[in-house]
Structure 1
Amino acid sequence: MNLLFRFVSNAGFVTAALIFSAFIAASVSATEGSSGDSIPATITNELKKNLQDVNGNRITPEEEGDAFQRKVFGSLGTAAQMGSSVSDAGDVNGDGYDDVIVGARAFNSGIGRAYIYFGGQNMNTNSDIVLNGQAVNSLFGECVSSAGDVNGDGYDDVIVGEPGNASTTGKAYIYFGGSPMNNVADVTLTGEANGSNFGKSVSNAGDVNGDGYPDVVVGAYGYSSGTGRVYVFYGGASMNSVSDVTMTGEAISNAYGYSVSNAGDVNGDGYSDVLVGAHGNNSSRGKAYIYFGSASMNNVADVTFLGEAVGNLFGFSVSTAGDVNGDGYGDILAGADQYSSGLGRSYIYYGGGVMNNTADVTMTGVVASDRFGRTVAYAGDLNGDSYSDIAVASYRNDGVDSGKVFVYFGGTAMNNIADAVIYGETYYESLGWAISTAGDVNGDGFDDLIAGGVSYQSLDGRAILYDYFMKGEIKADRTMTGEFSNDLFAGSVSDAGDVNGDGFGDIIVGAYGFNSYTGRAYIYFGGSSPNVIADVILNGQSVSSVYGYSVSSAGDVNGDGYDDVIVGAYGYNSSTSRAYIYYGGASMDNVPDVTLDGESASTYFGIKVSGCGDVNGDGFEDVLVSATGYDGSRGKAYLYLGDFL
């Protein structure tokens, strides 16, 4: 760590008191899990702060009114693409809590890995089991899934796909649960030919033949020049590796089997059914197929679903939807992420004694190229109303590919308006690349949701577990809107503390796209009846400064009894980046009181800013500024101690 003296010039420019560089030991350390392997993946509980709301009330994330709590599964591997696949794992260790599995397909030059995390009231902060791929570019972990209890030993099992194995012939591996569970595959399933990409999609199939053992389904979309094949393997006390049912696509380039899923019991005959997507069918119009289970299941589709138009890629993603309308029949979900120039659509089809192929609920994306419906998933019962819920992702949403996940609560009259929306947090995070129910990991009686952000931090990737959802609909009490098109208003938001000293909490909202990325930030004073018109407007100083990309309360840095704010402008000019501190006051103005300069423009100084309390105990609160581009993206963080006078 570099320790610098604090220096204040007459111009109000300040030098950091402490600089934290990337060579400082990370606070996340690798530990050893039950597999005996070094574990390079951890879960981080997100920072929780006690805040005042705009009505002056103290709130915490645990109180009624927050949509969810979350844990972050992060990878320490370079470009591992953690979160490329996510799934519930069932209860693999038999402790009564559901577990989760996360794939990192690009780990170690594409060898790939998958991580299992055991659930619990105080969920372990390290992965408990690490499963390893076999060879470079084999892409182990491309797809992961619970397998159910395929061998009937009382422990749930998992299945992991490895489509790049052996010249993309592909493999899939089943790992039996146990106490303790190990990381050696118990059953290995192998594709038929080079280029098959067997294992690109894997899923629990439910019990399709009614023998009391869950079965699995594996897709090989590249088989026979992209015609594609799907294989069902029956579970059993002595499960073998020979397919029991094999289904084949209709024509070359259909990509049949690119997506596969358990369909639930859509026709109510007591057997689980299988769902297969073929997004390349009919000039990429796309198609999906349901195969009814039975004691002697065959390979002829019982229901087929066709996309709306050529190029829509209908069936790119498919999933059971559980029973969203509560009629006792399983329902299904299919995505068409290229509908209307990439706007995207997703469709729910209700099951029934005589199931039809007309969508009962249609959900449509908002912006072209966002690819709404690239991933769709059964979400369990998130809000505890006894209806199944679903999730649909739009991984390119928010203009900078940060991604969004849209949650729809089931009900007797289910509609196509999202009940909750989860936002990606950084450029190119691609949140929602993979989504899945997580089961009930913490035993609170509510199902949980897991989503992968495969592109986070230059493709290192991460997965986020959302383990608490409100029971009921959540609506905003106030909404604020940007002034002009392309302002990117609300690209950053934060509490501002109490900047005007009236006893109510205030908020700050950034609009870094304002006026060709000159940028702005808006402060809204709280009150018993807060309005939606900004009370103070702070302005960037030059075009492309990206002022307002990050905003935060700074605490009371000058000790005058008023909270202050800090705003970053990481693109200030060609030679430097900046951050600005504005002192609060009964009559707060918009002139910066302190200007912090980065070392050079390319360091992205100010891309993140934050208050950090009083770290040195001098009675003045302090601030922290990051520079992620420092030294070839090695990164640096700067701590500025308060009392800038």
Structure 2
Amino acid sequence: MRVQAFLAAVASSLLLAAPAFADPTATGPSGAYPAGDAQINLPSAPTSKTWTLRNTGTDPVWVVSSVLSGADASQFAVSGTCATRGQANPLALNETCTVVTGFRPTSTGAKSAVLTTVTNGPAFTTGAITGFGRNLTGALTDFGDIHVGATPVKRTLHLTNAGAEEFPLGAISAPAGFVKGTDGCGTKTLAAGASCDVDFTFTPTVAGPKTGVMTIAGFTPTGLFGLAGMGTEAAAALSPVVADTSDGQATFTLRNPGNEALRLGAARLVGAGFAIVADGCSRATVAPSATCTVGVRFAADELGWRNARLELPVTNVPGPPVVARVTGRGPGLGGTDTDPFASPFALEEQPLARLVGDGGDALGGALTNGAACDLNGDGYDDVIAGASQWSVTPATLSWEGAAYVTFGGPRFGSSDLAAPVSGKTIRIEGEKEGAQTGTGVACGGDVNGDGIDDLVVGAWAYEYDGRPSGTAAVRGDAYVVFGAKDLPAAGPLDLGLLGTRGYRIVAPNGVEYDHFGYQVAGLGDVNGDGYDDVAVMSNVADSPETVPPRTNNGRIYVLPGKATTSAQDASTATLTTILGPAPGQLSIVTPAGDVNGDGTPDVAVGVYTAVYAGRSTASGEVFAVSGSTRGVVDLATPSSSLFAVGGAFAGHRLGIGVASAGDVNGDGADDLVIGADSTAAANSDAAYVVYGAKADPAGTARDTAGAGAPRETAPDAADTVLDTAALGTRGYRILGAPGSSTGYGVAPAGDVNRDGVGDVLVGGYALGNGRSWVVFGVKDPTTLPANNDGGVSALVPANLSDTTRYVSLATLTAAQGTSLSGVSAGERFGRQIANVGDVDGNGTDDLAIGADFAFRYGRTKTGEVTVALVPGPVPAAPTPTPTPTATATPTPTATAIPEPTATPAPFASPAPTPAPPAAKPVPALASRRLAADAHGRVALTVRCAGIAVACPGRVTFTLAGVRRTASFTAAPGKTAALRVTLTAAQRRSLTRHTRLQARLTLAVTIDGTTTTRALLVTVREPKR
């Protein structure tokens, strides 16, 4: 009992005794603060000071009060987080809260107060918090509407000191876009009631609103006196820009998407056989957003094919007239044999279709990466453009992002994509706010094997449900949207509700997948299964598995195509993973064509931040990776790539743009065009054409000096590192002006000048109004001047050790190329460019140029894509036919040739089993003579032998880098007839070249076992 009583007494003493805490310790507001001059009677404090309270001890600290005192305390305000840190929410060790004192005077004159902050420990009192109330009056200076590039317009801002005290004014500065002129106010003392004037001028360089605020040093708020003006500019958008009038009249509609009236001259036709009718455009003034129309009729009695250009001169917009191509074919033979658009070819004189985005879309910030795309299978290629800032709710900048598809056709023309027309344009919308869908868009080729091209779209900022959010979180996904004949009528299409129209590519919540979908690409069928494959980039992903681990080196995932719509997991489905060589973002992944001539499409990867050969600060590097490689490809390992290309000097940023250029030099291997928009504005920007090379069968030894170290350059070897400062015969430089951003966008142009050599498209969005060039291809670089010819370097900075030969854009002649300028400066015309295939079906590739900051229809940063329709060859006249049984015009034929490399047997033996092996099906072409008909179809006869059951199979036909597939079923010992329909690009290649190689793969699957046979065929264009 005594023990129990003792324990009870101890317990009682523990419960009743006060805790033995030491005194709380903290640091808090102290010292004086001069708030300066501030305008009176503003709704919020124009100037403020933030004070910090910190708990420096182990005992909790809480705020009892924080108040201002003094005669002018009402001229100041108190706020901050310390108001919520009372006894119920104290500060722990090293935790802080803030007290904010704002100066918000209601009367003029000197003001002063002090701040006292009381805690459960120490109390803190500041020194004097002072300020001076001012009453400076003025008004918004509005310059009104001013034509872009007009003579500077002057306005005067009148200031008055309405206070009772004199006001010593600080220095006055003009906002960006405005220029300060005569200044009668800055650094002057303005007496009470006195006034002064400051002049400003405004010369807009781009259409759209421009605002800013004049600042007075030491006086707040800085935004009290605003300047505003509107840059105005007329623009012209014609639709259609190409039309065939064989069946009658075509009506052309000219719209003014600018914010200034469009004044037109007299419409005219260049070319015989057509007449203008119902002309509402000649000498008309077209108000902003208004239209006029003009009709063109084909003369029914004209014989043969006719071609003309409709010209609509614009008198208040510099440059050539707005033009359209008009064609017609009458009965019989005859007609013109020249094209008024073709010779001499000038890009700015071609029909230009203007595709305008919705407000804030930044349309054209991404264009098709890689091959052209026919998403509805109608034989006309389509224009694909990303708009990563498209918003479901524009007022809140929700930035779901979108991709637009404008479908090609025989009457292609300008369009306002803010109101997509069913059957002509479809908007494919991001599914989540902030996803920024459309930063990367690409033609995936035939991903699902149905014979129609498919679309790949990236959404790098997509946030997954149930995962962390924000910029520090792993984000991003991608989508494959199946092409279909009914796709033009399916919009708008929500990527979150694809259903049977495609599938999502998802990435795990791992650092290896950050920014998944930043870039996407269609690669062709790299694994030979009949389905085209895609690549998805995570540009800032980490590689923790490397030694040492790399951060932000970026990764690329090559994923197989498939016909199902279930989600594809990048962590389990990947064929190849490409690791960036070092910390620093990957810039681009793109199909490279077949750069080593082995019949498998390859991959090009740009790393503009890479350090090549010790040239620090982002000299840049580009790697060509074999499409046949599987597993992990580490670009830090020299042997991992077919070849690499290094930047010519520090800061050159080689690899900011990369594209396949086709076979420019005609050696049977595809070539690359690479951009390098140097970091420093004073340094030369450039693009490079780098020739591919067939793999050396002997296996040329590769230099292994290591990443960033000098490596040998052997111009005749396929497997080496090429130095753009010494390309030799492996390519040449396209030299741009310093600060022009030449090379940020690069693309193949096809054979624009029809000389049998591939040409390239290069953008320089920061030069003047922005400019894009078609540079005609050069087969032999030794015909060009070298950088150091005559002891003078063409590069800036000068480098006489650089021997690379070059074409200069500053002195480009009509024999070397042509160019097209943007509408006005600041629109970033040429930042993204693309070869979009044959949009209008005339047999020639067309070109797209983005201007993602364009101002149209009164919408800021709407973006615009300009599609230049390149003229095609004059169609052949029909052959006279005395009887219905006359033979047709000769067509291309193909002759099969053996594979270049021998194999022990055409097919591998089946896996051994206890039972005797069954007979194998042997697919073969019954005829080695192939012919493409007038509709671009190749008829094949397939025979299946060696088995007693039917042979179901698939044929893959690869020509000009494009794959087409078809299925067949052949009875045992019999033949099956099928047709492969060539794409527009393949048909163009047959027309353009005298000899092409195609690859045929025949695959038969019996009881789960697939037997394949591959053939190389040579396709020749017969003499006519």
Q: 1:143 aligns with which of 410, 423, 440?
A: 440
In structure 2, what residue type is equivalent to 1:321? A
Q: 1-side partners of 2:266 and 2:236: how far apart?
A: 19
The answer on 1:396 being equivalent to 2:788 is no
In structure 1, what residue type is equivalent to 2:522? N
The answer on 1:316 being equivalent to 2:599 is no
Q: Report how many residues are paired.
A: 426
Conserved 8 A contact 1:435-1:450: yes
Percent identical pairs in the alignment equals: 31
Q: 1-side partners of 2:629 and 2:458: how far apart?
A: 27
Within a 5 Å distance, the mapping from 1:237-276 to structure 2 comes to 237-238=563-564, 240-241=568-569, 242-253=573-584, 255-256=585-586, 258-276=587-605
The answer on 1:86 being equivalent to 2:488 is no
1:212 Cα offset (Å): 2.8
Q: 1:294 aligns with which of 618, 624, 628?
A: 628
1:234 Cα offset (Å): 1.6
In structure 1, what residue type is equivalent to 2:618? S
The answer on 1:412 being equivalent to 2:779 is yes
Q: 2:482 aligns with which of 169, 176, 198?
A: 176
Q: 2-side partners of 1:180 and 1:471: how far apart?
A: 31
Query: Per the alignment, do residues 249 and 97 of structure 1 end up closer, same or farther by CA in structure 2, a change over 3 Å counting?
Result: same
Q: 1-side partners of 2:411 and 2:310: how far apart?
A: 22
1:27 Cα offset (Å): 12
Partner residue, 1:9: none
Partner residue, 1:231: 557
Q: Which has the greater radius of gyration?
A: 2
Look up the SS of the partner of 1:321 in the other structure: strand
Partner residue, 2:403: 114
Q: 1-side partners of 2:265 and 2:674: how far apart?
A: 36
Within a 5 Å distance, the mapping from 1:236-385 to structure 2 comes to 236-238=562-564, 240-241=568-569, 242-253=573-584, 255-256=585-586, 258-282=587-611, 283-294=617-628, 296=630, 299=633, 300-338=640-678, 341-354=682-695, 355=718, 356-358=720-722, 359=727, 360-385=730-755
Q: 2-side partners of 1:264 and 1:199: how far apart?
A: 22
Look up the SS of the partner of 2:365 in the other structure: strand
Look up the SS of the partner of 1:90 in the other structure: coil
In structure 1, what residue type is equivalent to 2:693? G
Query: Per the alignment, do residues 27 and 323 of structure 1 end up closer, same or farther by CA in structure 2, a change over 3 Å counting?
Result: closer
1:364 Cα offset (Å): 4.3
Q: 2:352 aligns with which of 58, 70, 81?
A: 70
Conserved 8 A contact 1:383-1:471: no
Query: Per the alignment, do residues 44 and 229 of structure 1 end up closer, same or farther by CA in structure 2, a change over 3 Å counting?
Result: farther
Q: 1-side partners of 2:405 and 2:755: how far apart?
A: 29
Within a 5 Å distance, the mapping from 1:162-173 to structure 2 comes to 162-166=459-463, 167=470, 169-173=475-479
Conserved 8 A contact 1:383-1:469: no
Look up the SS of the partner of 2:743 in the other structure: coil
Q: CA offsets, 1:457-505, max 9 Å, x none? A: 1311110100124889xxxxxxxxxxxxxxxxxxxxxxxxxxxxxxxxx
Q: 1-side partners of 2:442 and 2:818: how far apart?
A: 25
Query: Per the alignment, do residues 99 and 209 of structure 1 end up closer, same or farther by CA in structure 2, a change over 3 Å counting?
Result: same
1:51 Cα offset (Å): 5.9
Where structure 2 has 5 or more consecutive residues not aligned to the other structure, the ranges are: 1-229, 238-252, 257-263, 271-308, 312-322, 326-339, 392-396, 416-420, 464-469, 543-550, 612-616, 634-639, 696-717, 785-806, 875-1024
Q: 1-side partners of 2:665 and 2:426: how far apart?
A: 37
Q: 1-side partners of 2:641 and 2:660: how far apart?
A: 16
1:438 Cα offset (Å): 0.8
Conserved 8 A contact 1:221-1:228: yes
In structure 1, what residue type is equivalent to 2:406? Y
Q: CA offsets, 1:125-161, max 9 Å, x none? A: 5452210012232111112111100111011001111
Within a 5 Å distance, the mapping from 1:480-559 to structure 2 comes to none
1:413 Cα offset (Å): 3.5
Conserved 8 A contact 2:596-2:642: no
Q: 1-side partners of 2:867 and 2:581: how far apart?
A: 38
Look up the SS of the partner of 2:517 in the other structure: coil
Query: Per the alignment, do residues 211 and 45 of structure 1 end up closer, same or farther by CA in structure 2, a change over 3 Å counting?
Result: farther
Partner residue, 1:634: none
Partner residue, 1:207: 525
1:218 Cα offset (Å): 1.4
Look up the SS of the partner of 2:485 in the other structure: coil
In structure 1, what residue type is equivalent to 2:360? A
CA RMSD of aligned residues (A): 3.2
Q: CA offsets, 1:146-189, max 9 Å, x none? A: 11001110110011111111246111111000121243261212
Conserved 8 A contact 2:353-2:412: no
In structure 2, what residue type is equivalent to 1:439? G
Q: 2:506 aligns with which of 190, 195, 201?
A: 190
Q: CA offsets, 1:79-123, max 9 Å, x none? A: 210111122651111111111111111111221111111111112
Query: Per the alignment, do residues 269 and 153 of structure 1 end up closer, same or farther by CA in structure 2, a change over 3 Å counting?
Result: same
Conserved 8 A contact 1:342-1:370: no
Q: CA offsets, 1:571-616, max 9 Å, x none? A: xxxxxxxxxxxxxxxxxxxxxxxxxxxxxxxxxxxxxxxxxxxxxx
Q: CA offsets, 1:484-542, max 9 Å, x none? A: xxxxxxxxxxxxxxxxxxxxxxxxxxxxxxxxxxxxxxxxxxxxxxxxxxxxxxxxxxx
Within a 5 Å distance, the mapping from 1:2-41 to structure 2 comes to none
Query: Per the alignment, do residues 27 and 281 of structure 1 end up closer, same or farther by CA in structure 2, a change over 3 Å counting?
Result: closer
Q: 1:220 aligns with which of 538, 555, 571?
A: 538
Query: Per the alignment, do residues 49 and 436 of structure 1 end up closer, same or farther by CA in structure 2, a change over 3 Å counting?
Result: farther
- What TM-score results when the alignment is normalised by the length of structure 2? 0.39
Within a 5 Å distance, the mapping from 1:92-107 to structure 2 comes to 92-107=375-390
- What TM-score results when the alignment is normalised by the length of structure 1? 0.61
In structure 2, what residue type is equivalent to 1:200? Y
Q: CA offsets, 1:390-424, max 9 Å, x none? A: 111111011xxx21111122353466355011111
In structure 1, what residue type is equivalent to 2:455? V
Q: 2-side partners of 1:205 and 1:233: how far apart?
A: 10
Partner residue, 1:460: 862
Query: Per the alignment, do residues 295 and 406 of structure 1 end up closer, same or farther by CA in structure 2, a change over 3 Å counting?
Result: same
Query: Per the alignment, do residues 232 and 343 of structure 1 end up closer, same or farther by CA in structure 2, a change over 3 Å counting?
Result: same
In structure 2, what residue type is equivalent to 1:171? D
1:250 Cα offset (Å): 2.0
Query: Per the alignment, do residues 441 and 48 of structure 1 end up closer, same or farther by CA in structure 2, a change over 3 Å counting?
Result: farther
Look up the SS of the partner of 1:318 in the other structure: strand
Q: 2-side partners of 1:101 and 1:114: how far apart?
A: 7
Q: 2-side partners of 1:44 and 1:129: how far apart?
A: 22
In structure 1, what residue type is equivalent to 2:664? V
Look up the SS of the partner of 2:823 in the other structure: coil
Conserved 8 A contact 1:44-1:71: no
